[in-house]
Amino acid sequence: MSKRRQITELVVPRFYDTHAHVRETIQVHPAVKPIALVCSRANIEPNTKYPIHTAQQAIEYRDGPTDGRKWDLDWSILPVARRYNPDFEALMLIQIIPVAYESKVESECVRATTPETIFEAKDRIIAAKAYPQGVTTNSAFGIVDWRAKGLRDVFAAMMEVDLPLEIHGEMAGYPSCMRERKFLPVIRRILRNFGRLRVVMAHVSTKEGIAFIREMNQRGYTIVGSITPQHLWLTYDDVLGQPHNFCRPVACYEDDRRALIEAATSGEPYFVHGSDSAPHPILNKQQPRPPAKTPAGVFSAPAMLPILAHVFDQAGQLKRLANFACRFGERFFRLKPTTQELTLVRETNPTVRSESELRELRPFLTGDGLYRFDRPTRDFVPVHDLDFTIPLESEPRGFRPFLAGERLNWRVKG
């Protein structure tokens, strides 16, 4: 027994996930559900296949079509989320498009973002997102030239109306673990040129990224770094051979992971929680059809709460969990602090499932859903539960949650 009296129950505000991907149509429900179960709010990323790049598209993505088109409510974010949390808020982003594209996906073309796009959207969105082209899932419409005049006009407009800019900070063309480190000068230049622009560096993954956020705050800029549960948990070696652990930016080295844990648990208000939960169908992950490769993205939402509780507990900083997981994000995005709460409890006798149990729980894939072997009834039953033991597959359409099948020390009470 440790000398410190062990905390066994903890009341925290519901989490604020500042970075979540919830996909499209039939994938929306399983992607949204685990977020709504533990969060009061989430920022919804705009890099769908056809990018969300106007306020109108963002609102339809959230609520369903506004023009009476027939639509399955399971395909829209809020109708799904509010089944699990009636007060859930989905805060929308638009993607900044550098030049117009003829879209092959929809009849409408993808329009270049202008200052007018920003002025028109500002009251209906939480931020605008800038992706470099080709660095992650659905980034084909991303930015190549970060000094382009049109882009600078958009940043100036955002600064004028005080709309935050979220950046995926990776430089294409470098080895995976160099990409974020190589991108930092781009963000530095943006901050220098647009001094009052509020910036989120999404999913910080390196110790240099952490040092950069600290330095820029000391220089008086307003920049936060979001940190994911998977980057607090994994290193590069956990990613090799394990497609479900592969995301962009990739988890790098142990000293990077340590720097991320130290930052997240430090109590510094410029490090905030953002899960970057990004489900992909299991088959795409495990057996991409050549020449396609395994898509980037970890479905971390079902595991975010036990991972963060575990990491803060290990660091002896459970008292700081609420600030990281919720309050600092609310403060940056100028949101009213949520009054929704969760009680976390420590599992008294955590066990890791044995290999044989794991094998018995391996899902059986059929055409219409996912099943597991139920020992008492000797039958295959649909997988529905999202309990603190992370289910091997989440219902109903086949995404594998991060750390599927493992047991962690913390769960939501009740």
The bridge status of strand 9-13 relative to strand 341-346 is: antiparallel
* Cα separation, 386 vs 409, whole angstroms: 15
Minimum CB distance to Zn ion, residue 202 (Å) = 6
Query: Binding mask 57-86 vs Zn ion (x if CB under 5 A, - otherwise)?
Result: ------------------------------
**For this structure, is 276 an active site residue?**
yes
Minimum CB distance to Zn ion, residue 204 (Å) = 12
* Using rule CB under 5 A, residue 276 touches Zn ion: yes
CB closer to Zn ion out of 256 and 276: 276
* Cα separation, 161 vs 76, whole angstroms: 28
Number of neighbouring beta carbons within 10 Å of residue 381: 11
Stretch that binds Zn ion, among 26-34, 118-126, 170-178, 273-281 (CB under 5 A): 273-281
Minimum CB distance to Zn ion, residue 169 (Å) = 11
* Using rule CB under 5 A, residue 166 touches Zn ion: no
**Angle, CA of 223, 262 and 306, to the nearest 5°:** 100
**Structure tokens, 152:** 């600078």
Residue nearest to Zn ion (CB): 276
* Cα separation, 242 vs 249, whole angstroms: 15
CB burial string 167-187: b at 16+ within 10 A, e below: bbbbbeeeebbebbbbbbebb
Stretch that binds Zn ion, among 59-67, 275-283, 368-376, 389-397 (CB under 5 A): 275-283
Minimum CB distance to Zn ion, residue 276 (Å) = 4
Number of residues in contact with Zn ion, rule: CB under 5 A? 1
Phi, psi values for residue 298, rounded to 5°: -115, 130
CB closer to Zn ion out of 246 and 410: 246
Minimum CB distance to Zn ion, residue 131 (Å) = 9
CB closer to Zn ion out of 33 and 248: 248
CB closer to Zn ion out of 10 and 77: 77
**Beta partners for residue 365, in sequence order:** 370
CB closer to Zn ion out of 98 and 249: 249
Stretch that binds Zn ion, among 76-84, 261-269, 276-284, 322-330 (CB under 5 A): 276-284
Selected catalytic residue, list 67, 74, 238, 276 = 276
Minimum CB distance to Zn ion, residue 98 (Å) = 19
Query: Binding mask 231-270 vs Zn ion (x if CB under 5 A, - otherwise)?
Result: ----------------------------------------
Phi, psi values for residue 397, rounded to 5°: -115, 20
Contact (CB, 8 A) for 98 and 148: yes
Stretch that binds Zn ion, among 145-153, 155-163, 252-260, 272-280 (CB under 5 A): 272-280
Q: 214, 132, 194, 219: which is closest to 167 by C-alpha?
A: 132
CB closer to Zn ion out of 170 and 276: 276
Minimum CB distance to Zn ion, residue 414 (Å) = 30
3-state secondary structure of 179: helix
CB closer to Zn ion out of 187 and 370: 187
- The sign of the torsion formed by the CA atoms of 335, 337, 343, 348 equals positive
Q: Residue 393 — left, alpha, or beta (φ > 0 → left; ψ -120 to 50 → alpha)? A: beta
The bridge status of strand 369-374 relative to strand 364-366 is: antiparallel
* Cα separation, 254 vs 176, whole angstroms: 15
Chain residues in the site for Zn ion (CB under 5 A): 276
Catalytic residues: 276
